Chains A and B, each alone.
Chain A
Amino acid sequence: MMSSSFNLFRVGISFVMMCIFCKSAVGSLSELSPQKYFSTLQPGKASLAYFCQADSPRNSVFLEELNEAVKPLQDYGISVAKVNCVKEETSRYCGKEKDLMKAYLFRGNIVLREFPPDTLFDVNAIVAHVLFALLFNEVKYISTLEDLQNIESALKGKASIAFSYVRAIGTPEHRAVMEAAFVYGTTYQFVLTTETALLESIGTEDIENEHLYFFHCKQVLDLTEQCRRTLMEPPLTTLNIHRFIKTMEAPLLTEVAEDPQQVSTVHLQLGLPLVFIVSQQATYEADRRTAEWVAWRLLGKAGVLLLLRDSSEVDIPQHANVVFRRAEEGVQVEFLVLHDVDLIISRVESNMHIEEIQEDEDEDMASPDMDIQDDEVAETVYRDRKRRLPLELTVELTEETFNTTVVASDSIVLFYAGWQAVSMAFLQSYIDLAIKLKGTSTMLLARVNCADWSDLCTKQKVTEFPVVKMYKEGKTPVSYTGMLGTEDLLKFIQLNRISCPVNITSVQEAEEYLNGELHKDLISYSSVSVLGLFSPNMTTVKEDFTEAGNCLKGYVITGIYSEEDVLILSNKYAATLPALLLARHKEGKIESIPLANSPAQDIVQIITNALLETFPEITVENLPIYLRLQKPLLILFSEGSINPQYKKAMLTLAKNKHLDSLTPCWLNLKNTPAGQGILQAYFDALPPLPLLVVVNLHSGGQVFAFPSDQAITEQNLLLWLKKLEAGLESHITVLPAQEWKPPLPAYDFLSMMDAAASHHPTRKDPECTKETDASEKDKKQEDKSAIRKEPIETLRIKHWNRSNWFKGGKSFRHDNKEL
């Protein structure tokens, strides 16, 4: 009787369903006096009333929850009220002082249930309990397997069953089931249990979570047959249950002949994909059986249709046997060739996974993509990988050919590793060099890929990459230690054509050597020629100098003169023996430096220092040499070539020893575009060029700027430098001093492994007597959870979706993985 009257307000089910999702009704908790309340009660209408003492603040949390339940309950036509028991109008529901808190569910003015408020702990519990009480007949609560079997056999051929297990009454899942029962309760028999034992007895493995099974009892004609069961896989929420039941209602298998892109079924509306099994007349029966089997397996996950190829006008690729259509609009259908039904299933399941994941796309977008290459060398090499290099210009050496080749001719050998970006970047410079030297050099340009000839590289003492070595007959191989670029290596090769130090045999020749005539073709590679002057008996220092010259071979031209008439030269250039003469070819100057009894290493140092200019143009290539001086840099930034006046002012200052504590230099922004970036780092707002700054790189990192409104003159500069020294100038910026940290975090595999381990503690399952079974079961669970719970997985699919070249390649790999 109760249920029939209840049916009255089940009119407009779909409206209610809509309301659940759009939360249209606005309601708030009405506060009434008992008398007033009872007067509002309408026959047949349900109402939840909470009786409490007026002004009692103690239940504010409960009231909040109750307040929240007003809206959802109203959607089901249930009114909610708070009844204030004022003294004048006591009601028997008001209770006594001590137990003030009680809620009652009325239909009309009849009490259906009395709820101690602690059962109504939150809004979910309130809705769940109220609906549970009202849907007493629609939702059968059972506790044994027998109950379930009884219901099942009673309903065979009549109605299907929605059987759910929830962990407790009043949970959000319970509420979801009750809300679904409210809508579908007349069509299907809802059965509810909280007994895990029951769940286990029907063969569920995972008894920790809520479950909903659909028992397909309606189709069962033979009463001895069991009802087929379908487990709902997504978590129990109202929406998921709705979606699930909708798919249970949909026909299991539909036959279509139209274009798969045009077909529409309830599945698509529910956001589920469609799987078309392509069939032809000849194999129709078998295909239909396959399709049915697939349909059962995919029930609740995808719609399955049988597409008749013969009657279809659609052009289906010849070998395709499955057509897959995603639920998203505008996505092209995919024609697949899948030879195993399991592949169809896994295809759908992996696709579902993507859908789930997409929801939280936004929040992860912010996190940096660790797969983005942030190494500029690796990135450029990768970007350029398809360009074919004229590698044939260099000789590729192998373990077999190496020794014979380097013996047969003087060779430069590049040792590199094909997989290493720096190597490959340098290989390009090397090839450029080969192009430049083509047909002009006696030096053989060769290369060894250490990824192939590892042992050979080890034998040649190559342990890092790239390495360039020069092999000359009868001499130990020399490693190249200059910049890894075409120009510098070219210089090295060219200067190595002469054997330094060059032995000069006459004063005449020495003069030619000093004015650049002797090595005309080489002085463009070495702006300075060094000549050591020794009397014939200075054997030790001569040896040291020879050693130093050898050391600098390939970088500087050195010569030695120690004939009897050496005094002619030493007198001419005012040098005391032993001495070095430095001929700066560009400036046409020759200076002399006395050479005390210095060991070879010191001579090398003396020569390298002598190579430094007073006021050089600083470039990418020469900065490291000047940085070795460890002095603050005084840099003049110039748009193009330097103004001769500035240069003159600087040189004068330097000459007068005003710049001894600094390294003065200038930077041509045309030659060195990186200078622009430097200026931006120094100045907030860039003043017009030229700009003069002092950069204290080695102690403190302060940058001082010469006032740009002052003219760069000797006077102004001197004044400014004095002030600077006195600490009267304030810096414009301080260069950051922090260490270079990892640009991005790494994958924390350790905690991922920990997380996986703690998800599934390797527990001993006492019920599994067979060890093998237990471990297999554990493994299965692990696999499942890895897919469902692991947040990393989420990340991966996202990358996958972003259609950038790299990920595209990856997803391909995923699909073709060792099938």
Chain B
Amino acid sequence: MAYFLQRAGRDYAVFERAPRPGSFFTRYPRHRQLISINKRHTGKANAEFNLRHDWNSLLSHDPRLLFRHYSRAYFPDAGDMVRYLGDFAQRLGLHVLYNTTITHVTLHKARQAWNGHYFILTDQMGHTHQCSVLLVATGLSVPNQVDFPGSEYVEGYESVSVDPEDFEGQNVLILGRGNSAFETAENILGVTNFIHMLSRSRVRLSWATHYVGDLRAINNGLLDTYQLKSLDGLLESDLTDLAIVKDREGKFHVTLKFFLEEGNQSADAVTLPQDDNDNFAMRVAYDRVIRCLGWNFDFSIFNKSLRLSSGGEFSKKYPLIKASYESKGSRGLFVLGTASHSVDYRKSAGGFIHGFRYTVRAVHRLLEHRHHGVAWPSTELPTSQLTSAIVRRVNEASGLYQMFSVLADVVLLKENATAFEYLEEFPVQMLAQLETITGRKARHGLFVIDMEYGRNFSGPDKDVFFYDRSVGHTEDAWRSNFLHPVVYYYRHLPTEQEVRFRPAGWALPRPTAIHHVVEDFLTDWTAPVGHILPLRRFLENCLDTDLRSFYAESCFLFALTHQKLPPFCQQGYLRAQGLVGTESLR
């Protein structure tokens, strides 16, 4: 964000608690291996396309600031990330105040302020800073702790030893089933007696859910050893029902909270589940219990007046924000980065670098329009270029690809559909407010270009390798399962109601017409008949016109035998820019 503000020449400052950027990565992930891919080769030169497979770089104009120059590893070391972020801030000359801990944020009403109030930030020295727009990108910094009897015996991911020696010959119980839990398990898999992993719900594999925050294959060694009965195992139970008791030898036993409530018993006398049920799964005693339950947003520094509350039932760990990343409580407060993931939690990549680098840009564009009168960047082109404009974007755009179903391109049609404006990477849930956010007019219909997975293809319980999982025929494109472009056509801008009450499972409200470009094994949607032709037919039928291209000779014939010409001839030939063609083509 600082980069975008810097480029736009805006007055900004970044406060950073640590003496350098990316302090999170100096300690985390604990086992130092990032699980975001650093794909240095794609066989393509297209830089925009290559960002689809670069999950670590931030956006900038400087090609030297690409992560692939910082690490050769496919799953890079966290230290390289620290180095990269340091270079990024330094080389771009970003205005960062290091060693500044903001301890309190409050609101000060002021009529002349952009949003009717200023944000007052107090740092550890007691200095105050005032700003009109507050961008909070503090990530999730508070380890999630579940309170249950015996939780004091539990070690946390943030502090547990990463030295496998410390686990030699131990029985280990890990609470949680996310990547950090598996990462911890992976590290000690070979030295323990066994590892049991306990979580509230079943494990979610990212290759089944298509969500990068779920368990990645790189960490899932324990699944192997569990299913092959190599003593390790996975269990599901609600942690809040459990209790852990320590026996005389210092070993830990799992029991139910319910039993503890029965009476004041000494540790050895506590009822254990196996007393009733002698084949209870967790009847063994553990040497260590490790908690890897994820992280929460730090709400503590925000004054109540900011009305920054936590998200709904499923995203308690995130602050509640709108799809435009603005806080629901106070105007002018935006949540960026990992902390903004409530918008697309468990759906898209907004909680990760390769996702939020685009959402941040979207927020920047919104602010540029709101406060500086700079309309959302767009390109205006004649209709004859519509198919090409869409084909180009779906084949290279990385923002659409990473932030699928969250950011989408929008084509705003001009009167009589002779020309259109192309807007990139708009937060699609704000579609109803498009005109106010972008400063562009959507009076004559619009297309939304989105990337989507098949509707029933993603989920922790889905078999993603079933036979016939991929579709190769244009007629079946709507049943495509893998990520593929979807084009929605609306005659009118949908209303807020329509966006909110869209059909279940739909990224957008029900359109006037919809087109799926059939999924492609190579994600190369440029086949003339397989991809472009059906797309053209769809666009033609939405606009009720003929979008074919013609040689000048055909346009000449039409010009003298018809009163009207197809758009391609009108916009090319009639302006003396017809396509002549060569002998061999005719």
User: Across the interface, which residues of A come within 8 angstroms of B385, CB to CB?
Assistant: 463-465
A482 to B392, CA, bound (A): 24
Q: Are B585 and A453 in contact (CB under 8 A)?
A: no
A454 to B395, CA, bound (A): 11
Chain B stretch 494-516: residues in CB contact (< 8 A) with chain A: 510-511, 513-516
Given the known inter-chain contacts A382-B528, A421-B549, A818-B469, please indicate yes or no for A375 contacting B514, CB distance below 8 A: no
Quote the shortest CB–CB distance from B351 to chain A (angstroms): 26
Name the CB-closest residue of A to B379.
A463
Interface presence of B20 (CB below 8 A): no
From A739, A750, A776, B513 is in contact (CB under 8 Å) with: A750
A678 to B561, CA, bound (A): 6
Q: Are B528 and A378 in contact (CB under 8 A)?
A: yes
Per-residue CB proximity of A414-438 to B under 8 Å, as 1/0? Answer: 0001111110011011001000000
Using a Cβ–Cβ cut-off of 8 Å, how many residues does chain B contribute to the interface with A? 86
Q: Are A484 and B537 in contact (CB under 8 A)?
A: no
Q: Are A484 and B475 in contact (CB under 8 A)?
A: no
Q: Are A429 and B541 in contact (CB under 8 A)?
A: no
A747 to B515, CA, bound (A): 8
Quote the shortest CB–CB distance from A195 to chain B (angstroms): 33
Chain A stretch 587-630: residues in CB contact (< 8 A) with chain B: 620-621, 623-625, 627
User: Across the interface, which residues of B come within 8 angstroms of A377, CB to CB?
Assistant: 548-551, 579, 581
Interface presence of A25 (CB below 8 A): no
Task: Spot the interface stretch: A89-97, A181-189, A809-817.
Answer: A809-817
Quote the shortest CB–CB distance from B148 to chain A (angstroms): 26
From B391, B461, B563, A737 is in contact (CB under 8 Å) with: B563
Quote the shortest CB–CB distance from A807 to chain B (angstroms): 10
Query: Which one of B461, B536, B560, B581 has the greatest number of beta carbons of chain A within 10 Å?
Result: B560
A421 to B562, CA, bound (A): 25
Query: Which one of A371, A697, A793, A799 has the greatest number of beta carbons of chain B within 10 Å?
Result: A371
Chain B stretch 185-229: residues in CB contact (< 8 A) with chain A: none
Q: Are A624 and B563 in contact (CB under 8 A)?
A: no
Per-residue CB proximity of B523-561 to A under 8 Å, as 1/0? Answer: 000101110111011101100111111111110110111
Using a Cβ–Cβ cut-off of 8 Å, how many residues does chain A contribute to the interface with B? 98
Interface presence of B388 (CB below 8 A): yes
User: Across the interface, which residues of A come within 8 angstroms of B547, CB to CB?
Assistant: 742
Given the known inter-chain contacts A742-B544, A817-B472, please indicate yes or no for A486 contacting B580, CB distance below 8 A: yes
Work out how many contacts link A and B, with CB atoms closer than 8 A: 266
Chain B stretch 262-320: residues in CB contact (< 8 A) with chain A: none
A426 to B559, CA, bound (A): 21
User: Across the interface, which residues of B come within 8 angstroms of A428, CB to CB?
Assistant: 581-582, 584-585
Quote the shortest CB–CB distance from A178 to chain B (angstroms): 38
Given the known inter-chain contacts A483-B577, A678-B560, please indicate yes or no for A455 contacting B47, CB distance below 8 A: yes
Q: Are B564 and A737 in contact (CB under 8 A)?
A: yes
A754 to B256, CA, bound (A): 48
Interface presence of B166 (CB below 8 A): no
A813 to B536, CA, bound (A): 23
Interface presence of A779 (CB below 8 A): yes
A674 to B477, CA, bound (A): 39
User: Across the interface, which residues of A come within 8 angstroms of B534, CB to CB?
Assistant: 370, 746-747
Name the CB-closest residue of A to B566.
A740
Q: Are A429 and B582 in contact (CB under 8 A)?
A: yes
Q: Are B540 and A742 in contact (CB under 8 A)?
A: yes
Q: Are B473 and A810 in contact (CB under 8 A)?
A: yes
Interface presence of A695 (CB below 8 A): yes
User: Across the interface, which residues of B come within 8 angstroms of A732, CB to CB?
Assistant: none
User: Across the interface, which residues of B come within 8 angstroms of A681, CB to CB?
Assistant: 560-561
Interface presence of A748 (CB below 8 A): yes
Task: Spot the interface stretch: B65-73, B124-132, B568-576.
Answer: B568-576
Q: Are A736 and B536 in contact (CB under 8 A)?
A: no
Interface presence of B24 (CB below 8 A): no
Interface presence of A481 (CB below 8 A): yes
User: Across the interface, which residues of A come within 8 angstroms of B473, CB to CB?
Assistant: 796, 799, 810, 814
Given the known inter-chain contacts A373-B528, A377-B579, A380-B585, please indicate yes or no for A747 contacting B557, CB distance below 8 A: no
Given the known inter-chain contacts A419-B395, A463-B379, A749-B514, please indicate yes or no for A375 contacting B538, CB distance below 8 A: no
From B389, B550, B563, B585, A736 is in contact (CB under 8 Å) with: B563
Interface presence of A223 (CB below 8 A): no
Per-residue CB proximity of A694-723 to B under 8 Å, as 1/0? Answer: 010100010000000000000000000000
Interface presence of A563 (CB below 8 A): no
Q: Are B549 and A375 in contact (CB under 8 A)?
A: yes
Q: Which 6 A-B pairs have the closest CB atoms?
A: A485-B580, A419-B526, A742-B540, A740-B546, A746-B537, A740-B566
Q: What are 24 inter-chain pairs, A to B, with CB distance below 8 A? A: A342-B467, A370-B474, A370-B534, A376-B548, A377-B548, A417-B388, A417-B392, A451-B526, A481-B577, A488-B580, A620-B578, A620-B580, A624-B575, A674-B554, A674-B556, A678-B560, A735-B561, A739-B564, A740-B545, A746-B534, A747-B477, A749-B513, A753-B514, A806-B529
Task: Known pairs A482-B577, A678-B560; list 20 more (Cβ under 8 Å).
Answer: A371-B474, A376-B551, A384-B584, A451-B46, A452-B45, A481-B576, A487-B580, A488-B580, A620-B556, A674-B554, A677-B561, A678-B557, A678-B561, A736-B562, A741-B544, A742-B537, A743-B546, A749-B477, A796-B473, A810-B472
